[in-house]
């Protein structure tokens, strides 16, 4: 990349209101051959991912779909920033929805890939968390500046000259800005605001079997237009449909009634194990890094335990995070197309007028399909392809909450438990849990079909 791009980068950063400075003028230094991204550790990735997951938990407005979107763009920015240093790999530009091109590094100007990744993740984190507290924005700056001290083996000053550092920071920031330019047009960029400016207030459709606000808060519908966002890999939210749910019926012998009765019976007599599963996979916004953050956390741990390279971590998070982001778009499209009422509404109408789920409140959006099921199935399918379908792992996501560590024999086993947990919690029918699985698999299949290599 030509250094004449620095004035452009400085202007872009200033326009974005970032607390980041464009790199200082480069000092002359010896010509150094760049090592590939696979020659470095993934330390930069681990630290940024753990910090971003904390920000998801601590920043208002980061409901599960918004969190998955942020992770999607973070994973893409990481991959695209260092893919020029991954021989045999290629950019995803031209494959992703409406993303035709991205900057590319000049082959005759060596770059230092940990510096590139650090700059790209720092910039994208600032852009993805515009409402973060001043304290958390300061943590972003501190982490960005501390990387050479934390990972001296990756930031050797004897080989990483000031000139290379400067070029690398410039390229990483420019890549993040280019991806953010694309992100701003996806329809989800202002989701943390109370009302999307270009759309009217949402009024749920009325009718038999249709969703309505649920107790105890009777909160308005969450992100009713999210399913109309531009996905990253899918062409639209409708590209991966869920199978149709059973026909609505209040007859006691009907399939729909039996499913509601099952939720009611389990809720009234849940075993200790079922209660544990429900609470473990709740992944509530504001209290945890949300469902997508849960899968990102355990993936980060696996990569760290395996001492993955920077290149491996970048490819893994690109695949995983793209899938989870698109899974929420597909799920939300189906939810607000079918508008199936929640179990609490059905049970109060037909079975027991005084019943409410005892473990947690019902989330404020339609039932079908289960978002946990869709995104967990998508995540597990991607991770099964990356690490192996029968990979056993330890999940430490909720250790600090006293709910772990927990061991799983495979990613699918974890995903199946996550899906079933919503039945045990009393907030989804079994058909919502089961119906989300093929939808999530469809999303994963489309992500896994991307050509990371020519």
Rounded to whole angstroms, the Cα distance separating 137 from 140 reads 5
Same domain (yes/no): 179, 231: no
| Share of residues in the chain with pLDDT > 70 (%) | 91
In a domain, 191, yes or no: no
In a domain, 192, yes or no: no
Rounded to whole angstroms, the Cα distance separating 180 from 101 reads 13
Position 194 pLDDT exceeds 60: no
In a domain, 212, yes or no: no
> What's this model's pTM, rounded to 2 decimal places?
0.93
In a domain, 214, yes or no: no
In a domain, 253, yes or no: yes
Each residue's pLDDT tens digit, 284-317: 999 999 999 999 999 999 999 999 999 999 999 9
Same domain (yes/no): 233, 162: no
Q: Are 418 and 220 in contact (CB under 8 A)?
A: no
Same domain (yes/no): 329, 269: yes
Rounded to whole angstroms, the Cα distance separating 324 from 411 reads 14
Last residue of a domain, one of 125, 152, 183: 183
Last residue of a domain, one of 183, 218, 250: 183
Length of the chain in terms of residues written: 454
Q: The tokens of 92 are what?
A: 């995803």
Position 1 pLDDT exceeds 90: no
Q: The tokens of 24 are what?
A: 């200082």
Rounded to whole angstroms, the Cα distance separating 346 from 262 reads 12
Query: Would you state the pLDDT for residue 18?
Result: 52
Same domain (yes/no): 282, 405: yes
Same domain (yes/no): 22, 163: yes
End-to-end CA distance of the chain: 22
Handedness of CA 191, 193, 196, 197 (dihedral sign): negative
Each residue's pLDDT tens digit, 86-127: 999 999 999 999 999 999 998 889 999 999 999 999 999 999
Other CB atoms within 10 Å distance of the CB of residue 168: 30
Rounded to whole angstroms, the Cα distance separating 64 from 68 reads 6
In a domain, 353, yes or no: yes
- Compute the average pLDDT of residues 349-369: 97
Position 199 pLDDT exceeds 80: no
Sorting pLDDT into bands at 50, 70 and 90, what band is 197?
A: low
Same domain (yes/no): 179, 254: no
Each residue's pLDDT tens digit, 398-446: 999 888 899 999 999 999 999 999 999 999 999 999 999 999 999 999 9
Query: Would you state the pLDDT for residue 372?
Result: 98
In a domain, 22, yes or no: yes
Q: The tokens of 48 are what?
A: 């940024």
415 exposed, middle or buried (CB, 10 Å; 0-12, 13-18, 19+)? buried
- 51 lies in which domain range? 3-183
Sorting pLDDT into bands at 50, 70 and 90, what band is 145?
A: very high
Each residue's pLDDT tens digit, 19-56: 444 443 333 333 345 799 999 999 999 999 999 999 99
Q: How many domains does the chain have?
A: 2
CATH assignment at residue 132: 1.10.606.20
Same domain (yes/no): 15, 140: yes
């Amino acid at each position: 990349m030509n250094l004449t791009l620095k004035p452009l980068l400085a202007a872009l950063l200033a326009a974005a209101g970032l607390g980041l400075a464009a790199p200082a003028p480069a000092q002359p230094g010896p010509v150094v051959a760049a090592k590939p991204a696979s020659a470095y550790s993934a330390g930069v990735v681990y630290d940024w991912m753990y910090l971003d997951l904390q920000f998801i938990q601590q920043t208002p407005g980061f409901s599960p779909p918004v969190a998955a979107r942020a992770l999607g763009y973070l994973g893409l920015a990481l991959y695209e920033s260092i893919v020029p240093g991954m021989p045999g790999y290629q950019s995803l530009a031209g494959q992703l929805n409406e993303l035709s091109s991205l900057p590319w590094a000049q082959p005759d100007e060596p770059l230092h890939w940990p510096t590139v990744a650090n700059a790209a993740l720092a910039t994208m984190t600032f852009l993805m968390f515009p409402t973060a507290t001043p304290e958390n924005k300061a943590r972003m700056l501190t982490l960005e500046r501390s990387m050479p001290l934390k990972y001296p083996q990756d930031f050797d000053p004897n080989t990483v000259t000031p000139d290379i550092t400067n070029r690398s920071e410039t390229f990483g920031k420019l890549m993040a800005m280019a991806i953010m330019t694309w992100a701003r047009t996806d329809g989800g960029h202002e989701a943390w605001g109370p009302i999307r400016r270009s759309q009217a207030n949402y009024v749920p459709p009325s009718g038999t079997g249709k969703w309505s606000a649920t107790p105890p808060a009777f909160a308005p519908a969450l992100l009713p237009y999210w399913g109309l966002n531009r996905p990253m890999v899918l062409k639209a939210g409708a590209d991966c449909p869920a199978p149709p749910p059973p026909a609505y019926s209040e007859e006691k012998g009907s399939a729909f009634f039996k499913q509601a009765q099952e939720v009611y019976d389990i809720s009234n007599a849940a075993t200790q194990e079922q209660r544990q599963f429900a609470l473990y996979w709740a992944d509530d916004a504001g209290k945890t890094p949300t469902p997508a953050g849960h899968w990102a956390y355990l993936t980060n741990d696996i990569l760290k335990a395996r001492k993955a390279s920077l290149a491996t971590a970048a490819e893994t998070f690109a695949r995983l995070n793209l899938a989870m982001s698109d899974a929420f778009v597909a799920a939300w499209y189906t939810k607000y197309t079918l508008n199936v009422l929640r179990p609490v509404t059905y049970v109060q109408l037909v079975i027991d007028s005084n019943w409410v789920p005892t473990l947690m409140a019902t989330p404020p959006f339609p039932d079908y399909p289960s978002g946990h099921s869709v995104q967990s199935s998508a995540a597990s399918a991607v991770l099964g392809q990356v690490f192996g379908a029968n990979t056993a792992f330890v999940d430490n996501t909720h250790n600090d909450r006293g709910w772990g560590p927990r061991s799983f024999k495979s990613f699918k086993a974890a995903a199946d438990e996550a899906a079933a947990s919503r039945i045990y919690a009393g907030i989804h029918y079994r058909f919502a849990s089961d119906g989300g699985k093929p939808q999530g698999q469809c999303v994963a299949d489309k992500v896994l079909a991307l050509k990371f290599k020519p």
